[in-house]
Every structure is written in structure tokens, then in C-alpha cells.
Amino acid sequence: QVQLKESGPGLVQPSETLSLTCTVSGFSLTSYSVSWVRQPSGKGPEWMGRMWYDGDTAYNSALKSRLSISRDTSKNQVFLKMNSLQTDDTGTYYCTRDWETGRPYYYVMDAWGQGASVTVSS
Amino acid sequence: DIQMTQSPASLSASLGETVTIECRASEDIYSNLAWYQQKPGNSPQLLIYDANSLADGVPSRFSGSGSGTQYSLKINSLQSEDVASYFCQQYNNYPPTFGAGTKLELK
């Protein structure tokens, strides 16, 4: 059974760094890529970045200067770090499993974690 | 980035009714479009990919269509469990981008 679970602090001070962990089970990080997606309350999701199955990374250019994604395959974990947080970074942060559709190199998010609620406030 | 525009932003429908949600891309996305359902308090779930392919376990009352820049999600015979927000997402170009969502309620 494919599962993803996000963990991390619920409250972050403005200008501080957010650190989140995604722990996966039911699939291998060396076979599937994992994305981070965030969603402000009542709004559409925003793709943040991806840890490819081969260890490479891809980032949304809007966040690239602040964002870092890494992994520990021995622990089945993917990590997100984002610095210089502001109030508009408040929202729910999800990790997702990326699944390649029938078309090579095209990926959709076929499994999502429960989400980690993050509030940026002093 | 490709902009995804959904309409309507919200709609109210009766049980058994047929509902259609539209999604327009700011440029051709060659049917590289997915639809997600997000029930209140839950995370999004994949409904449709490649514009018209049903994800595993999705009821056949859901269907997707479209091409180029115009896509739609249709729900036949609306059920109470279909109350949710629905998002379209393009994966033709980086970064993948989502629509703002359509909130579906029961009348």
C-alpha cells in the first residue's frame, strides 16, 4: 500500500527556515520520483519541486532561490528546506508520488500525503 | 508558466444531475492534463490523466475530454460523495501548474 506522510513544525517565524520530512512506504524512492506541492487555504495547489528517482532535482523557478530538496533512501525519506519564509508561505504542504503516464517523461501525482499545515507568524 | 483557468469557481447541483467543469490553458498542452478531486479536509486525489484516462478506482460516472487549450470534466448522475473541490493541472511544461479550483456543492 502506497503511503506518504509529511512531518515538521506547524509554526515558523517570518524570515526563518522551514524543514519538512516526507516518509514513504509501499514504493521505492529509487523507482519513483516525489514532488512537494503546497496549497494556501482555499486556493489551488502550487508545485514546488521534485526529487527524481535517480537523485536529481527540479525546482519551480519562482522558489528555486529559497528551496532545497534532498533524500535519504535508506530511511525512505525526502526532505524539503525553504528559507526566508514570509506570511504568504502559509498553507498546507504535501509530498506526492509522481507516476509516469503512458507518455514517456510526463508525470502526474498519483498518491498524496495527508499534508502538513504550516503557519508563518511571529 | 502556463496559466490554467477553471470555470465556474463554484457550482451547486442536485443529486442525479450531470455537471461539467471547464479548464482552459494559456497555450496548447497537447492533452497533458489531469483532474484531481479534493474532498473537504482531505488531500487531492487523482481522477483523470492524459485528459481522458480514468485513474485506478475512479467511478465511470467521471469522464474527461478536450484538446489543445480547452478541457472539461463531466460528472454523470451526481452522488453525495462527489461534493468536493476539483482542480485541473497541466504537465506539458515546467513547472506543472494547477487551476484555482471549482467547488461543487449539493443544491
Local confidence pLDDT in tens for the 122 residues of chain A: 999 999 999 999 999 999 999 999 999 999 999 999 999 999 999 999 999 999 999 999 999 999 999 999 999 999 999 999 999 999 999 999 999 997 878 899 999 999 999 999 99
What confidence score (pLDDT) does residue A105 get? Answer: 82
What confidence score (pLDDT) does residue A102 get? Answer: 79
What confidence score (pLDDT) does residue A104 get? Answer: 78
Q: Are B87 and A44 inside 8 Å of each other by CB? A: yes
Q: Are B94 and A113 inside 8 Å of each other by CB? A: no
User: Any idea what DSSP says for residue B96?
Assistant: P
Q: Which mean pLDDT values do the consecutive 10-residue runs of chain B (107 residues) have?
A: 97 97 98 97 97 97 98 98 98 96 97
Chain A residues with CB-CB distance to B1 below 8 A: 62
Q: What gap in Å lies between CA A76 and CA A28, rounded to an integer? A: 7
Q: What gap in Å lies between CA B6 and CA A122, rounded to an integer? A: 35
Query: Which of A67, A108, A110, A114 to probe by mutation at the B interface, max B CB count within 10 Å?
Result: A108
CB-based contacts of A73: which residues, under 8 Å, 6+ apart?
A: A28, A29, A30
Q: What gap in Å lies between CA A82 and CA A84, rounded to an integer? A: 7
φ, ψ of residue A88 to 5 degrees: the values are -80, 5
B89 shares contact with chain A (CB less than 8 Å)? yes
Chain A residues with CB-CB distance to B51 below 8 A: none
- The beta-carbon neighbor of A113 closest among B43, B53, B92 is B43
Q: What gap in Å lies between CA B85 and CA B107, rounded to an integer? A: 15
What confidence score (pLDDT) does residue A24 get? Answer: 98
Cα B75–chain centre separation: 10
Task: Please give the residue of chain A at the shortest CA–CA distance from B40.
Answer: A42
What would the 3-class secondary structure string for chain A be?
A: CCEEEEECCCEECCCCCEEEEEEEECCCCCCCEEEEEEECCCCCCEEEEEECCCCCEEECCCCCCCEEEEEEHHHCEEEEEECCCCHHHCEEEEEEEEEECCCCCCEEEEEECCCEEEEECC
* Residue B78 distance to chain A (closest CA, Å): 23
Q: What gap in Å lies between CA B89 and CA B33, rounded to an integer? A: 6
